[in-house]
Structure formats: C-alpha cells, structure tokens
Chains A and B, each alone.
Chain A
Amino acid sequence: MFEGYTASEIGAIFAMQGFAGLSLFCVFLLMALGLAIIFGQMQVINMAHGEFLTIGAYSTYLMSVVAEKHAPWLMDYYFFLAIALGFVVAFAIGWLVEFSLIRFLYKRPLDTLLATWGLSLIMQQGFRSMFGAREVSPTLPEWLLGSWQLSDTIEIPINGLLVVGVTAVLTLAVFFLLFRSRWGLKVRATTQNRVMAEAAGINTARVDRNTFALGCGIAGVAGAVFTTIASTGPTSGSLYIVDTFLVVVFGGAASLFGTIASAFSIAQAQSILEFFINGSMAKVITLAIVIGILMLRPEGLFASRVRK
C-alpha cells in the first residue's frame, strides 16, 4: 500500500496521522480508564459506558449553542467549561444509575451485563428524542481549529495538543486520587477485601457509587474530547465501546501503564492505517493484530504479575 510515496513523504504521513491519532488516543484512554476503574472496583462491565461519552459530547454541543446564542464573549473559552460540564453531567447521571439499578445487581454479573446493555439502548433512544437522529457538532473556537506548522510537511493540530493536555491532567488527577487521597485508600481497601473494608468502618456501598460515577464522569470528558474529532449522534458512544474493551483487554485490565500503552498503539495503528486504506479495513487489520497478540499473551500486554 505504500507504492507511489517517497520515503520522506511516508515519514511525514506517519507523523501527521500520528498527531491526528492523538485525539483518538485520548478518547480511548479516558474511556478505558473509566471502564477499568469501574470493573476493578466492582467487577461490573458497563455496557452503557459509551453512552456516557455521548452525554459528554452533547453537553459540549449544548454549551457551544448557549455560548453562541447568549454569550458570544465566551466563545473562545467555552470548551473548558464544556469539559467540566461533560464531567459533572456524566458523573451525576452515573451516580443515579448506580443508585437506581447497578447496586441491586452486584451479585449477578450476567444480569449486570444485560441491564447495562438495556440501559444503553434506552439512553440512545433518549438522545434521539432530545437531540434528533441527525448528527450535531459544536462550533469550535477558531484558535482550536488552527494548527502549528512544524516543518514543510508536518502540521500539528492545536486541538490534538489541547486534548492531550486535558487527558494528561485528568489521568494524573485520577492517579493522585486513587493512590494519594483518603478516598482512594477506601477504594483500594474495598477492591482488595470488600467484607473487611466494610468491617473496618468503610461505607463500601457509597465507595461503589462514587467510583461508578467517577468512571462515568471520565467518559463524559472523553465525550468533550470526542467532539474535536467527529460529530455527535445518538449512537456515537456505542461505536466506541468495542474499541474501549479492546484497549482494556489488550493492556491487561489491572495496569494503568498497560492501558496507556495499549490505547496509544491501537489509536495510532488505526489512524495511520486509515490514511492508506479505508476506515473499516483499518479497523479489521487492527483487530486482527490485537487478536494475534492476545493469542500469544492471553493476559494482555502488561498483565500485572503480582496477582495471587
């Protein structure tokens, strides 16, 4: 597939598609992070996780509409508010979902799978009734659409840099929360021995609820980031859920480093392949490579070896 390109052209294509792949990498990473936090804490596979991305994306869209109509002076900066709004709305809805549905199903993993799948369909229908079936896009501020000319052939899109920054800050914040805060201590204690954590005085039901909500909130931020690479429709999120599972499994579910590396390689492979062949072929090839590697290393690339 490389015929007709010179070596330096191919280098430039790799670099540019690589930078374009950064946004995809961020979406994957944030989605996988949220999914892994929820799975690690309560062994719930949230099939509706993609819909929380959609919530974040629609929140960003709404924010842009409001800013355009009522506060044009905000247009340059609304995107930061949209990220926060995406997080808050997805967090709040995640909290409600845990409270009204998930917590009744903890002892029945298969039912959780079905229930969250059903929830994802309901949420998609909800989006359709609220925003219509047509895809929408927020009006992004001009500075975000620009790019930065690195050399004659290589341009780095500003929005790519921004979302990498946002993702790095959020990932660090989550890391800090989990490993340095009292709340994180409660999460880790509950993950290791739920019964003992409860008997030590920790309200494990509340820890579960907040953990679930946090995972959803992170997906909401992924949704805000998502608006910079594609337009938003009712099923936008569900298109990402398979890729996200892929990232988590490929990285080895328990390792943060594995998740980052796996999100990066899958996003880059897709983005670079997409330039040469069409999108769905790129997906097929990525999937084939991942399956191949998983056959060699069933635990994932970076499975932690400290498990009992």
Chain B
Amino acid sequence: MLAVRKLDVAYGQSQVIRGLDMDVGHNEIVAVLGRNGMGKTTLFKALMGILPARGGQVAIDSIDVTAMAPHRRVENGIAYVPQGRMIFPSLTVRENIETGLETAREKKIPDDIYGLFPVLFEMRNRKGGNLSGGQQQQLAIARALVSEPRVLLLDEPTEGIQPSIIKDIARVLKEIRKMRELTIIVSEQVLHFALDVADRIAVIERGAIVYEGARGEVDAAHVSRYLAV
C-alpha cells in the first residue's frame, strides 16, 4: 500500500531522516514510536510532500508520489492530521471540515462524519480556534477523513489531550477501519496507546526504523527501553 524506500530528508545541512525503509499493508494500522526529536514529524511531512525528499522514494499503491505537491498526494489518497492539529482558527468547524472536500466526489460533508464525532455537529458554527484541544483533534481527523483517503497519517494525536478523549480517538480509529478500507500510520510516544490501536509497531531512532514487531509479539519491555528518556 505505502512503500518508503531509502528516504533521506534534511533541513539545510542537518539530515534528519536517514535511508528510512518502511512498508505498510492494505488496511493495516502501524504505530511509529520514538522519543521527541527522533524524526517522526519530519517523516510524516516528507510523506505528505511538505518537506522534499533529498533522496529515496515514496509510493502509494505503486504510484510514485515522491515529486508530487501535497495536494496531488491528497488526490492520490493520502490524508494528514498534523502534530498540533493545525485547525484554521477563524474558519467555522463546518468550514474547517469542508476544506478537506477538495478531492471528494461530493462537495458535501457526509453524515457519518458527524456520527463519528457528535461534538463537531454541536459546534459546527463555532470558530475552529475556540475549540478545546481534544475537539480540535477530532476536527483535524474529520477534515482528513472527508477527503476519502486510503492512507491516513496521524502525527502524535494523543499529545496534550485528556485520557478520556484519547480513549475516544482510539475507539474512532478502530470504528473507521470497520466502516471502510483504510491504512493508518500513527506516530506516538506512548506505548500503551500504540498497543491498543496498532497491528504493528515500528520504532524510529535518529531517522531510521530500528525495531519492528506485530502487536502480539512485541516485547513491551524492550520497546520501552527505546522510549525511555
């Protein structure tokens, strides 16, 4: 589904992603785990086309997207929920969701979105900037989902969010996958959330994947050692 080959990404002189390889299958949920500063956000930005790849390749369903602008990648089925949510603060909740409709066949928010996130329906006429962190996170996921993606990238969705809403988000992710075919890549610093939602876990350290394992067979103590500060 998503294939990353020998990906290099750098900010000026400092290379952050170094020859990273990763494969994610159809309908799979993979959690990318790693401490702060290990390159999760940089990897996601490169997958999205926000940062250029200095070397290597990114392909979706064997379509090479390495040179494509972000909006072209959205057309090809990637959707992005960035770290920090990046809600449009002075657009209403409804307008925020509508920005994701560009690649949708119908330019209308499907009902099931509000079914997944009832709070967004209640708040639909409020400004995005007035929502709480947890609500903004749900809004960012909704905005990504309406583009009808095949691959969803979620960058640290639980960062700075109350435990009750984290549970909600985990439930929603599993629900979405029951409703439609969707591959999800989610970055995390917290192992138990990853073990709750993901089929497979990949640990990133200094810009490369250093450990991988399916949920049933990961050695939690071993992975924790990568995440300890």
Chain A positions near chain B (C-beta within 8 angstroms): 182, 185-186, 188-189, 192-193, 195-205, 306
Contact = CB atoms under 8 A, between A and B. Distances in A.
A185 B103 contact: no
B199 interface: no
A198 B75 CA distance: 11
Given A192-B90, A306-B90, A199 B95 contact: no
A204 to B, nearest CB: 7
Contacts of B82: 196, 199
A193 B143 CA distance: 14
B63 interface: no
Given A192-B91, A199-B82, 18 more contacts: A182-B98, A182-B107, A185-B91, A185-B95, A188-B90, A189-B99, A193-B86, A195-B50, A196-B88, A197-B99, A198-B70, A199-B48, A201-B102, A202-B99, A202-B102, A203-B71, A205-B69, A306-B90
Given A192-B89, A193-B88, A195-B50, A200 B95 contact: no
Q: Which 5 A-B pairs have the closest CB atoms?
A: A201-B74, A201-B102, A196-B86, A198-B70, A199-B70
A201 B95 contact: no
Contacts of B103: 201
Interface in B104-141: 107
Contact of A200 (B69, B90, B143): B143
Contacts of B79: 201
A200 B100 contact: yes
B189 interface: no
B88 A201 contact: no
Contacts of B187: none
Given A185-B91, A196-B82, A201 B69 contact: no
Contacts of B89: 192
Contacts of A200: 74, 80, 99-100, 102, 143-144, 147
B99 A185 contact: yes
A201 B91 contact: no
Contacts of B102: 186, 200-203
Nearest to B128: A192
